[in-house]
Chains A and B, each alone.
Chain A
Amino acid sequence: MMLKLTAEDQSMLDGEHGRAVAAAMKILVAFSNAVGARQLLDIAGAHIDGCLYHGQASLDFVERLVEGGGRVRVPTTLNVGSFDLIHPGLVKMPAAQEVPARRLMKAHLELGCQATFTCAPYQTRFRPAFGEQIAWGESNAIVFANSVIGARTNRYGDFIDLCCAMTGRAPAWGLHLSENRRGQLLFELTGSFEPADALFVGVGLIVGQRSGDRIPVISGLPQPRDEDQLKALGAAAATTGAVALFHAVGITPEARSLDEAFRGMAPEATIRICRADIDQALAKLSSVPEGAPLAAVSLGTPHFSHDEWTRLLPMLREVAPGRGIPIYVNTGRATLKRLQDEGELHDAEKLNLIPVTDTCTYVTSVLARLDGVVMTNSGKWAHYAPGNIGVSVAFGDLEDCVRSAAAGHVVRGAR
């Protein structure tokens, strides 16, 4: 089995499009051989998860492409970095770390990537269409693109996503190919469920834990209120597991029926999920009991959509948290700009609202206090924050987070 290159691929490899493209193609070819792809295919766009600093090698790689005169060949969005470039001073970091971390973000812009700095590129004008071939990094974005939109990407990341962007090509393997997108494992919800936010998080956690490297199909899920609930499901599944694609029967575009989801074949196994399983999965996200005093609330992991802001703001104004407990909301800079233009954030300060763009509160030092309990409505944030930034976490739905901020301690189910 050998990789077959087109004449155009070969000319990129031979340096006819410059040193940076040649380097990217060389790495892409080595990678394609390593995964057994037989050819490359055209991509319509890329999303790069390379702006978080993991050491000198991350920066050396991008600098090498900048020096080689590189420009991305397809529309390319950027994932979060370590800094909020819109709100300087929000992230606190020693200078020795700050300099290379800022440079990493800027170097990507010099390659022609878009300054989106969001983990939710599907909420920007660069959202791909059904069936489009793309090369995306960032686990929640990958699972959303494949599952909710029906675009096609593998789990790209570090270095390779950028090599795809620089060449406009990706190896033809895995989820790029129709035959590999068939469901394999059936998760059957037993009982009747309301489309509550927490349900989607809970199902995502379980599906992630139990899927391994097989593609899950979920049946019995109620129609979601909006795609943000599917975003939460996917993010949770890509947190507890390596899920890159799920099908939800009657909901996601490649699963209009159970039969379509499995392409007419039988599931390899069936896993039943009942209410108690979901409650148990969600309970594991909280390390503190009800009533625990709160230091902060963190929302928007993945980045808050415009719809989510539209749900949050009236809720906040009604409950009017007055205890000085900060409510951090991670969101894309374009979403924030739109809200500001609409005049929606005029009372942000009064509501103790701190919008965070370009980064996320669990990957860098944003929170003023790390010694207390932080409440979140995100399964992903609840999973990673204790290890990454050392906080204790309480999980709850959006209403609970808002009411808890007003009360100053963890409250659940207060209506």
Chain B
Amino acid sequence: MSEQDSRALNRVGTFQLAGEAQGSALVLSHALSFWGGVDAETGDIIDRSHPGGNVAGKILVMASGRGSSSSSSVLAEAIRRGTAPAGIILEWPDPILAVGAIVAEFLYEISMPLVVCDISGIVSGDRIAIGLGEGDRAMVSRI
């Protein structure tokens, strides 16, 4: 088995908001609140309990969302500005991020996929693709 094969990753998940995306994974060790945690103008992570970085265009991977319901607005605003992640993968569903993604799709017709699936084994820097599977399933794979 080649090294490539041992790193193969194909997961089936559920969509909180359906869409397709590809990008470099940014895996966070603990939950990030978009309100007070992400600058919607730049996508920079400003919550000092995280090591920093920028979410724009990434596949953001974390166990769960966290914090104030104002995170919905910040995510929607980041999607509008193009500073949001290309997609978000969570271990647990999050109503607050779901609202931000749903409203951004409604207002701006931009579908940022929000997926719930097993996140184990994904590391920062992996190229991840989120696709539409059968029966509205989310397909998450390393490419």
Contact = CB atoms under 8 A, between A and B. Distances in A.
Interface string A135-164: 001010000000000000001111110000
Contacts of B36: 387
A55 interface: yes
A54 B17 contact: no
A57 B70 contact: no
Contact of A54 (B73, B93, B95, B99): B73
B73 A55 contact: yes
A139 B69 CA distance: 9
A49 B70 CA distance: 9
Contacts of B70: 52, 54, 157-158
Nearest to B114: A34
Interface stretch (B22-30, B50-58, B74-82, B121-129): B74-82
A388 to B, nearest CB: 10
Residue among B16, B100, B107 having the largest count of chain A Cβ atoms under 10 Å: B107
Interface in A44-78: 49, 52, 54-58, 60-61, 64
A26 interface: yes
Contact of B106 (A27, A34, A137): A27
Contacts of A31: 95, 98-99, 102
Contacts of B10: none
Given A57-B107, A160-B99, A30 B17 contact: yes
B69 A55 contact: no
A23 interface: yes
B40 interface: yes
B69 A54 contact: no
Contact of A55 (B40, B68, B95, B99): B40
Contacts of B138: none
B72 A26 contact: no
Interface string A15-53: 000000001001100110011100000000000010010
A54 B74 contact: yes
Contacts of A156: 69
Q: Which of A31, A34, A52, A160 neighbours the largest number of chain B CB atoms within 10 Å of its CB?
A: A34
Contacts of B95: 31, 34-35
A61 B74 contact: no
A36 to B, nearest CB: 8
Interface residues of A, number: 28
Contacts of B17: 30, 34
A57 B35 CA distance: 14
Nearest to A60: B107
A158 B77 contact: no
Interface string B87-117: 0000001011011101110110000000000
A159 B77 contact: no
Contacts of B35: 54
Interface of A: 23, 26-27, 30-31, 34-36, 49, 52, 54-58, 60-61, 64, 137, 139, 155-160, 242, 387
Interface of B: 16-17, 35-36, 40, 67-74, 76-77, 79-80, 93, 95-96, 98-100, 102-104, 106-107
Given A34-B95, A60-B80, A387-B36, 20 more contacts: A23-B106, A30-B17, A34-B17, A35-B93, A36-B93, A49-B69, A55-B40, A57-B77, A57-B80, A57-B104, A61-B76, A61-B103, A61-B107, A155-B69, A156-B69, A157-B72, A158-B69, A158-B71, A158-B72, A158-B96
Q: Which 3 A-B residue pairs are closest in the complex by CB-CB distance?
A: A157-B69, A55-B77, A54-B73
